Every structure is written in structure tokens, then in C-alpha cells.
Amino acid sequence: MPLSSTAMDHANGAEMVSRANAQPASLPSMVDPRFLPHVWLWTDQDGPSGWTGGGAFGPMLVLRGVEDLARLDSPPEGIEPGHGRWIGWCSYEFGKILELKAATPGGARQDRRWPLGIFTYVARGDAKGVGPDIGGFAIGKPGTPESGGERTRFDIGPLRSNTGREGYCEAVSRVIGLIHAGDVFQVNVTHRLSGTFRGDALAFAREMMRRASPRYGGYFELPMEDGLKRAVVSLSPELFFEFNAATGEIVTRPMKGTRPGTSDPAGLMTAAKDRAELDMIIDLMRNDLGRVCRYGSISVAARRRIESHASGGLWQAVGEVKGRVREGVGVAEILRAVFPAGSITGAPKVRAMQIIDDVEAAQRGPYCGCFGYVDGTGGAAFNVSIRTVLISGTGRADQPGIFEDAVLDYSVGAGIVAESDPESEWRETLDKASILSDHTVIVDVGSRR
């Protein structure tokens, strides 16, 4: 089934881009002022204590530059500290605003035109499990497929890769050549699977949360003017960082190495290639945290452990790095120091980002960015936005979740090191797309470049 031309036109953003570019600093030029975003955070287990709650609230913060991050360190004017929190996301491309050297001339194609980042201030629903029920989806828990009443109808067309197998393997081979030339040690290379979406994104999110059981899941729907809107459905298993403002403690848990849940986890534990990937990213995250942490406070709490994720569908290799942030450092400075996460860039980070800009076919948007919250005390928790679905298209702003004609994007990637085999890396990316297998198929995997 071919992609809907109407959906793809909206996803390419012809109308949205003209408005956003005309007044990039003006929120009403992008967002329908009559309707606020719908947001929530959901965790299955082992999530930060604040990783629940949500609703339809305001005001909003649109990230346009580095200076906008400072607003995350305090509530909006007129709201007392401790009476709410910011919830939102940063696109991967915001990292190229924080580190200008990471961008290359031309760079990856900007065909979806996602904002650099959006946050909304949630002034209630802060306590665990507290929050309104949005269309039958209880905040803080996904419920069962029946719990949403009639909110069960959605349709996803066949997914097609924007590179195909040949294009992806070609990009991986180019990266391997750069690694052997001593230009870089590791690069995370991704491709995007896209198909049509029609129906209820809230029902889709509920079903995906139930199936994936993410530790750091979230939903953010942004109504636009003229019947356009976007939704981010993050099913991430990976913690970017959790920061306790009272104690100064910060922890990050990078993931590198994936196997199907049907395989023997011992194979992942002993795999030299996967071990090398994680070791490099742990060292990178130690270096990034060193920009904001007290001298001598950084430690590797876990060099490597194997965890079951996606309701047993995947094995993941996970590390853990801890530190204590210097006095006076807030969330804005932490994000400036560590974003984007090393696990989805590579090492060295800036050179890896330059290579990503060169070899990938399109910009990533919220995928591989971060999604989370900054609470009323100045503490924060963000995921690494892998396993994240992006929906762009048409739908009435007064009907939360409903998309009439849209495109769904689900990007997948793999960490490339000197020992990588392009075909194996391609297969690993498809393993990560298995979460959608009950609702669609992947077709046309030949070259598309």
C-alpha cells in the first residue's frame, strides 16, 4: 500500500514550515492557541519517582536557542516553585545548536520539520499516579486494551525504509572505513521506517505502552493550526540522566548491544563487539558528566549488565555512571554539557555527529533526542528517545489523539565499530522494529537512495 500523498505532504511540512519560518519565535504561529498539548509520562518499573503524571496544560516553552534552556531551571512567572513541573522533549538536532561544530554544510535532509524542542508546564498531577484521564487512558499506567472503551481504532500502513537495506549497509560500510582510517571510534547509524497512520494515536500509545512496558515512556501531542498536529510516542528503555537537586546526585545508564529475547543472553554478555561499544560510551558519558560534576565524584557503578526489555522481547546491555553535580549547576547547564546522549551519537561525540549528518538520509527530529521532566525542586529525569514513534498529519485539535491522514515514522539504528558487519547491523535494526509487528509489516527493503 503506497504512502498517502496527502499525509506525506503534511509530514513534509509545506504549510507548517511556512508558518514556523515566518515567525519562529512566536508560538501562536505554530500551535493552535485554543488547545494545549496533551502530555503524560509512564513507567513500568525502575523509573524515577516522578516519572508519572500528565494532562493538558500550559504555558509552553519552544526551544529556539541555547538561551531558552535557562527557563527550565524555574517555573513560569506567577507560579511558585514546587507547584508543578516542565514536561517535554528536545530533538536530536538541538544538539547541533549546543555544539555548532557538530553540524556539516548541507547536512541531513530536513523533511519533517520538527521543532527543536517543546515543553509545557504541568501545574498539577505531580504526585505518583495522579492526573486526569485522557480519553480512557489512565495517566501513569497503560491499562488494558479494553480500558479505553472505544479508543481502539487505528491503522498503520506497511513501513518502508528511507534507505533500504543496500543504502543502510552502504552507510555502515562508509563509517567502518572512517573507523579503520582512525577518524572516529564508533558511530550510531540509523534509518527511518515510515508508513501511513489513521485513527487514534492515544489508543496506539496505550497499546504500545502495554506491549513494550517501557521504563521511560511518554506521549506528547501538539495541536497545530489549520488542522495539523504532531504526536511523540516514546517507548524508551534507556535513562539519559536522573538528577536529584537536593543531593546533587546524577546517574546515567547508557545502553549498547541488543539481542532478540528468544536468544541466549550469555551471547550478548560475552560479545566482544558489543562490549567495545558499551565501554566506549561509558567513557564518553564519564567525560560529559565531568563538565558539571565535582572533581573525583564520578564512578562507574556498573560496567556491564544484561537486562530484559520490551516485555521480554529484547535483551539489552546496560552500564551505569554516577556523579555529584557541582553546587549551583542546574538542569539547563547539565543539558548543555551532555546532550545529545553518547549512546546515540558515538565517540568522539562531535566527530560522530558530523558523520551522522553526512551519512544519514534525513534529520532525526525527536528520535534520539530526550523526553522527560524538570520538577519543582530543580530535579530532572530524561530518557534517550530511542524506540520512539513520531506521527505527523491532519486532525482536529479538539479531538485529542485523532489523526485523519498522517504519516508514522519509526527510526532504528545500531552502533558501528571496527568489528561491525553491515548485514548484521541491518538485521539488528529490524529486530528493534519488532514492537510494531502486530500492526504492520516492513516492505520494500531494497535500495532507496
Q: Which sequence positions are flagged as catalytic?
A: 238, 256
Contact (CB, 8 A) for 352 and 287:
no
Cβ-proximal residues to 219 (8 Å cutoff; 6+ apart), any chain: 38, 39, 40, 42, 54, 201, 202, 205, 231, 232, 233, 234
- What gap in Å lies between CA 46 and CA 236, rounded to an integer? 13
Q: Cβ contacts of residue 321 below 8 Å, gap of 6+?
A: 251, 252, 253, 254, 282, 285, 286, 289, 298, 299, 300, 301
Q: How crowded is the C-beta side of 295, counted as CA atoms within 13 Å?
A: 0
Residue type, 99: E
31 three-class SS: strand
Bridge partners, 4 (sequence order): none
Question: Are 156 and 193 contacting, i.e. CB atoms less than 8 angstroms apart?
Answer: no
Q: Which residues contact 59 (CB under 8 A, 6 or more apart)?
A: 76, 120, 121
How much of the chain is in helix, strand and coil states, percent to nearest 5?
A: 30, 35, 40
How far apart, in whole angstroms, are the C-alpha atoms of residue 173 and residue 150? 48
